[in-house]
Structure 1
Amino acid sequence: MVPTVPLPRRPVDPSDRMRQWYENELGWVTVPGSPLRLVTGLRFDVLDAPAEAAFAARRHLAPGSPVALCGERMRLWVAAGSADELPGLLDWLEWGALTLDLRAIGAGGSIEAPLPPGVPEGPLTADRFGGSGPQGAAVWLRPPEPGCKVELSLPTLSALGGGGGAPDLVRLVDTMATQCHRVRLRRACAQPLTSSRTWGRP
């Protein structure tokens, strides 16, 4: 009788481990295929802004509210439906007339999934970034905690007036808009003059 030798086990693909962590541990929906992306608009929406503008707004977040960094941009998790509220909220806060580098990703959208805690960076994980490697890829500044109801800690418009324990979306958006405007002004002042005219001459 010929002994049967079990086939060697295939190593677990890091993207599979990531998908399992997001779907099984957090209950978040992922987009099929690679690179791994998280569906927005179901369990959460995301506010996306320059990192230097969003940094100051983190004080309005609850301790369990996730924050990720993707290149030079920061993503703050907010309650599902917040993306639809953003344009009206900016108008109400009198920011609507200005062009701000602030956007919300909600229903019908998706974002790049940051590496979960404990998933090592290496060649296999670099492949999922299209060969660009981990540099500029999404990473967690404050990862979600499995087993916790993350949605309960996310900023929401219904928190206006102090109801419930969720942070107030209005304060968060107002701070982010203020900081985005400051960043825009600072960058505009740093640009060299493109006009060939000399000051003081007609």
Structure 2
Amino acid sequence: MSATEQDAADAAAWYGARLGWPTAPYPASAPGQEPGTGRPRLATGVRFDVLEVPAEAGDEVLGRLPGPAAGPVVRHGARMRLLVAPGCAEELPGLLDWLEWGGVALDLVALGRGGSMPVPALPGAARGPGEPFWVRPPLARRGGEGDGDRPVPLPALAGPPGCPGHPGPARACGTGGGAPDLVRLVAALATACHRVRLFPPPGRRAARNRQAWAFS
């Protein structure tokens, strides 16, 4: 196991002890890779689900929503992963329909039960090239000195079924009162993903044009 893999394994153990986040099985080993090696992963659908979007869309949303409204956020290369309450991944298709985004091609991926994501570097720790890291960490300082850190609330569907802002009969398991509103977050993410698709950044637009020429 390399030093980077060991750091990731130590981080996974810390997330499990501090936040109760379970790890997921290692993915299948690549050719020439020893069994059980590689970067460990955190299981989704247990303590949190994930909404994954292009980093440009994520940056746009984070610039518009204050920290508590978006929940914890991980950056990994060209992708951004926003942690939401467990059960939200199952709600996403119906929520997009309710928000009138159904049928629109959005680069918005939901990871729920049975999924996983690579373990991010610990908040504030040094990280290697290409390693996932926290843009908005999962812990926040409490109000007073010496109070320690508290978990950041995860976005969830607000209120009981039938209330304004609730699109259907099911409800994601939130973190209790005061959880950020999933509807507001998904609406912002869908809009940003659609804008990035219509008006991609220059580098991505050039890559897409090269691909189009390659298949013409």
TM over 0.5: yes
2:82 aligned counterpart, secondary structure? strand
Tell me what 1:142 maps to: 136
**Deviation at residue 60 of structure 1 after TM alignment:** 5.7
Tell me what 2:40 maps to: 36
**Deviation at residue 105 of structure 1 after TM alignment:** 0.6
Task: Give runs of aligned pairs for residues 1-202 of structure 1, distance below 5 A.
Answer: 13-33=6-26, 34-58=38-62, 59=65, 61-62=67-68, 65-117=71-123, 119-121=125-127, 134-145=128-139, 148-150=150-152, 153-159=153-159, 161=164, 164-187=177-200, 190=205, 192=209
Contact 2:67 2:136 (8 Å CA) reproduced: no
Contact 1:66 1:142 (8 Å CA) reproduced: yes
TM-score (norm 1): 0.73
Deviations 1:52-100 (A, max 9, x none): 1122323165179211101011111111100000001111111111110
Matched residues, number: 170
Aligned equivalents of 2:201, 2:118: Cα separation in 1: 29
1:100 aligned counterpart, secondary structure? coil
Residues 157-166 or 64-73, more deviating = 157-166
**Deviation at residue 120 of structure 1 after TM alignment:** 4.0
**Deviation at residue 149 of structure 1 after TM alignment:** 3.6
TM-score (norm 2): 0.69
RMSD (CA atoms) = 3.0
**Deviation at residue 27 of structure 1 after TM alignment:** 1.1
Contact 1:115 1:138 (8 Å CA) reproduced: yes
Aligned equivalents of 1:70, 1:118: Cα separation in 2: 15
Contact 1:48 1:102 (8 Å CA) reproduced: yes
Residues 79-88 or 29-38, more deviating = 29-38
Deviations 1:6-55 (A, max 9, x none): xxxxxxx4234212211111111012444111000011101100111122
Between the aligned residues of both structures, percent identity stands at: 49
Residue identity opposite 2:58 in structure 1: A
Residue identity opposite 2:138 in structure 1: P
Q: 1:120 to 1:167 in 2, by over 3 A?
A: closer
Which consecutive residues of structure 2, in runs of 5 or more, have no partner in the other structure?
A: 1-5, 27-37, 141-148, 166-175
Residue identity opposite 2:102 in structure 1: G
Contact 2:55 2:75 (8 Å CA) reproduced: yes
Which consecutive residues of structure 1, in runs of 5 or more, have no partner in the other structure?
A: 1-12, 122-133, 196-202
Aligned equivalents of 1:70, 1:168: Cα separation in 2: 24
1:88 aligned counterpart, secondary structure? helix
Tell me what 2:29 maps to: none
Ranked by relative contact order (alpha carbons within 8 Å, sequence separation 6 or more), the top structure is 1
Q: 1:87 to 1:144 in 2, by over 3 A?
A: same
